[in-house]
A = this chain, B = another copy of it.
């Protein structure tokens, strides 16, 4: 189903020393389905995360933020993460918070650590009470099958409307040390992350100081999960967690270290891969669209225009139909809220086809050329604003009948 995104192969997902993974079928929403994931960390591990800016941020997001802040304030390190699907524990008020704490306490007791050393995550339906007793009942089974080589199962355990698991793995040599990185993510609707995506976890076996990891996670998120959108709906549960297990030989204590830049680029590259997998498997997606806006006076205005194009239902349905009705893209640029935009300096390209010139139709543009590109499954829209040298890129997908079908049936 996903657009040009082959199924990850379990054997390609490299174990990361210092992190063990277990899962359970807890029957949270449906039976016989992996729906609880536990990750336990070496004592040397550091963890950093970015979370949704949605004001209705979910109870587990609130607890995870607080527990990470406690580490920064000098508390004991994070020892485990626990994820459930089938219920978002969002819009659940005080009782939702209590249930997120209860999950942490149950896992901490089994692992012999403090509840504050556990980070909880949830994804699924909003505004419904979390069946915490099912999660707690599933934890012993998850702990029983903890092992390093469980990333494929982890990717499957966090799926909701995803049609396939999302994972990526690579090794990189930094300062003579081999660093192994593996990550997983999930979509597939309510995706317009603002600081992070629905759920993404990326681990590697270097030892990284907390302030360095904090900076690294923000950089990677801004260049990956914060550049994607499926439907413009920023979720209540977005979380992207970066875990440095410290089990390898590389150590990075300072962002000024020459090793930092290499690590940052490797982490960002794999995060971008995970983010793009979410778009390729976006609900109902049949096309993968890259939107690049260049020559802006600020990155912010470039992003605003790129998102305006990416969110337009009319643009998205035109992509679905392979219809070069490209004036819809101009309209979306025009209402993006860049009030002093001089459209007479604007050009637009569809892949290699020069469609709009100086704000109007390029006299040399032939509809057959636009049609040829629109039929592809991967398309790049490039807009040049002619007012500066800032640029931004956003990845999105089309809007199909299948999107409506999926979201009209989600809870059934």
Which of A38-46, A137-145, A272-280, A400-408 sits within the interface? A400-408
Q: Which chain B residue shows the least CB distance to A314?
A: B233
Given known A-B contacts A232-B311, A312-B233, A399 and B404 have beta carbons under 8 A apart: yes
Which residues of B are found within 8 Å of A91, using beta-carbon distances?
A: 327, 330-331, 356, 359-361
Q: Do the beta carbons of A236 and B331 come within 8 Å of each other? A: yes
Which residues of B are found within 8 Å of A94, using beta-carbon distances?
A: 360
* Residue A109, interface by CB 8 Å: no
Which of A27-35, A53-61, A65-73, A241-249 sits within the interface? A53-61
* Residue A317, interface by CB 8 Å: yes
Q: Do the beta carbons of A333 and B56 come within 8 Å of each other? A: yes
Given known A-B contacts A330-B91, A361-B93, A343 and B56 have beta carbons under 8 A apart: yes
Which of A208-216, A258-266, A289-297, A318-326 sits within the interface? A318-326
In chain A, positions 299-330 with a C-beta closer than 8 Å to chain B are 311-314, 317-318, 320-321, 323, 325-328, 330
Given known A-B contacts A92-B361, A127-B327, A323-B408, A232 and B334 have beta carbons under 8 A apart: no
Which residues of B are found within 8 Å of A332, using beta-carbon distances?
A: 233
A350: shortest Cβ distance to chain B, in Å? 12
Q: How many copies are assembled?
A: 2
Q: How far is the CA of A361 from the CA of B94 in the complex (A)?
A: 10
Q: How far is the CA of A317 from the CA of B325 in the complex (A)?
A: 24
Which residues of B are found within 8 Å of A178, using beta-carbon distances?
A: none
Which residues of B are found within 8 Å of A190, using beta-carbon distances?
A: 314, 328, 331
Contacting residue for A234 out of B95, B331, B399, CB 8 A:
B331
* Residue A172, interface by CB 8 Å: no
Q: Do the beta carbons of A335 and B53 come within 8 Å of each other? A: yes
* Residue A409, interface by CB 8 Å: yes
Q: Which chain B residue shows the least CB distance to A331?
A: B236
Q: Do the beta carbons of A334 and B95 come within 8 Å of each other? A: no
* Residue A81, interface by CB 8 Å: no
Q: Do the beta carbons of B404 and A88 come within 8 Å of each other? A: no
Q: How far is the CA of A65 from the CA of B209 in the complex (A)?
A: 60
Residue from A189, A361, A399 having most chain B Cβ neighbours under 10 A: A361
Q: Do the beta carbons of B327 and A90 come within 8 Å of each other? A: yes
Q: Do the beta carbons of A338 and B55 come within 8 Å of each other? A: yes
Which residues of B are found within 8 Å of A192, using beta-carbon distances?
A: 335
Given known A-B contacts A127-B361, A334-B55, A232 and B312 have beta carbons under 8 A apart: yes
Q: How far is the CA of A320 from the CA of B401 in the complex (A)?
A: 13
Q: Do the beta carbons of A407 and B236 come within 8 Å of each other? A: no
Which residues of B are found within 8 Å of A403, using beta-carbon distances?
A: 313, 317, 404
* Residue A105, interface by CB 8 Å: no
Residues of A within 8 A of B (CB): 53-57, 88, 90-96, 125-129, 189-190, 192, 194, 231-236, 311-314, 317-318, 320-321, 323, 325-328, 330-336, 338-339, 341, 343-344, 355-356, 358-361, 399-401, 403-405, 407-412
